[in-house]
Amino acid sequence: MRTVLALETSCDESAAAIVAGRRVLAGAVASQMEEHARWGGVVPEIASRRHVEALPALIARVLEESGLAMADLDAVAATVAPGLAGALLVGSVTARTLARLHGKPFLGVHHLEGHLCSVHLGDPLPAGPYLVLLVSGGHTELIRVDGPGAYTRLGRSRDDAAGECFDKVARLLGLGYPGGPAIEAAAAGGDPGRFRFPKGRVSLPEGGFHPYDFSFSGLKTAVLRQVQRLAGEGAPLPVADLAASFEQGVAEVLVERSCRCAVEAGLETVVLVGGVAANRRLRRLMAEATAARGLSWRVAPLAYCTDNAAMVGLAAVERLEAGGRSGISLGVAARFPLEQAGSLYAPQPPF
């Protein structure tokens, strides 16, 4: 069994965890959300500086909680792509420094591979390949998983990610940042059927629509138009109904396309990961829709849906067990395809 210290600093969460095999021995997350909330979104320069300040205490805390010393670890890992380059660099340089100082292997981890692994921190998955709906602030993707490291993307958003759309609509409704939890709270007493928002589709050049791709920018604009129309009427804005209708629209389109994709690809399990997977309406609709089609479904445990280091540690353990380790000169990349995650462990680093 391999034990890894993992760091996650790709966006606005500084996180450290110690994972042994498939078990999380200790995990700590320092969110910077409040700081970024003032600006209505993540400010990259602030994020990097806060990571520098937060990491030493987080690392000390997980070591203490796990009762382990650096000497007990088999490797040190950090997210190296994709994300904010400056923020990634803080985690990566810290992990590489610790690895070098203590004579341990270093593993650079693909952030999305971390999200994919987060489901293994919950109930075991049924055997066989499965379809993952990865919905976060930066990504909305349908990924077929045939085994560790064997990924095929079957669908994606062509514009905004689902989480990004939650964040933008929340700002529009004056609900603050991050938008997902704010919309979910505001939607609790609202009528999800009051407003019908369009289910953005992506045209194919040969005619018709792409069956598994998403587009959320039209939905965001439709909410804006509705808000402007209602504001023009002078009545107080029905924020709860708007939030509930928006949430329903996003959840329906995510669930419909995932289920269709799973059925047509012959996959029997749909897995939900990423920050938006925390959404209860999405979970409920997914449970209902998969049951109606005879599919099974799994979701990452709530604590591991939004960014955390435990999922990064799990991905690192899997790679380490398969003989993977990264070169100490591996850098970071703001964008990098998940399908090429294996090259992070190649003798020639991709970046």
> Under the rule (CB under 6 A), what is the footprint of ligand KG4?
11, 136-138, 163-164, 166-167, 178-181, 184, 274-276, 278-279, 306-307
Residue nearer to Zn ion on the CB measure, 95 or 300: 300
Q: Which is nearer to ligand KG4, 283 or 319 (CB)?
A: 283
The minimum distance between CB 215 and Zn ion, in angstroms, equals: 21
Distance CA 199, CA 27 (A): 38
**Angle formed by the axes of helices 239-264 and 280-292, to 10°?**
40
How near is the Cβ of 111 to Zn ion at its closest, in Å? 6
Residues 277, 281, 287, 292: is their CA dihedral positive or negative?
negative
Least separation in angstroms between residue 287's CB and ligand KG4 is 16
Considering the complex, state which of residue 178 and residue 324 has its C-beta at the smaller distance from ligand KG4. Answer: 178
Size of the site for Zn ion (CB under 5 A): 2
Would you say 9 or 136 has its CB closer to Zn ion?
136
Give the footprint of Zn ion on residues 215-234 (CB under 5 A).
none
User: Which one of the spans 84-92, 129-137, 242-250, 257-265 is the region binding Zn ion (CB under 5 A)?
Assistant: 129-137
Q: What is the nearest approach in angstroms of Zn ion to the Cβ of residue 214?
A: 17
CB of 300 to ligand KG4, least distance (A): 10
* Footprint of Zn ion on 306-345 (CB under 5 A): 307
Least Å distance between CB 234 and ligand KG4?
A: 30
Q: Which segments of 188-309 does DSSP mark as H helices, in order?
A: 217-232, 239-264, 280-292
Contact status, residue 239 vs residue 100, Cβ threshold 8 Å: no
Binding residue (CB under 5 A) for Zn ion from 3, 32, 136, 269: 136
Main-chain dihedrals φ then ψ at residue 262, nearest 5 degrees: -60, -45
Indicate which of Zn ion, ligand KG4, none lies near residue 180 (CB less than 5 to 8 Å, by partner kind).
ligand KG4
Q: Which residues of 251-279 are buried (b: 16+ CB within 10 A; e: fewer)?
A: bbbbbebbbbbbeeeebbbbbbbbbbbbb
We find the least distance from the C-beta atom of residue 167 to ligand KG4, in angstroms, to be: 5
Radius of gyration of the chain (CA): 20
Judged by CB under 5 A, the stretch of 58-66, 200-208, 299-307, 340-348 that binds Zn ion is 299-307
Using the minimum distance from each CB to ligand KG4, give the nearer residue, 248 or 306.
306
> Residue 279 binds what, of Zn ion, ligand KG4, none (CB under 5 to 8 Å, by partner type)?
ligand KG4
| 131 in Cβ contact with 271 (< 8 Å) | yes
For residues 81 and 341, the answer to whether their CB atoms sit within 8 Å is no
3-class secondary-structure state, position 340: helix
Please give the Cα distance from 19 to 5 (Å, whole number): 7
| Residue 135 near residue 148 (C-beta atoms within 8 A) | no
Residue nearest ligand KG4, Cβ-based: 180
- Reported as type and span, the H/E element at residue 165 is helix 162-172
Stretch that binds Zn ion, among 20-28, 121-129, 136-144, 182-190 (CB under 5 A): 136-144
Rounded distance, CA 84 to CA 77, Å?
17
Residues that bind Zn ion (CB under 5 A): 136, 307
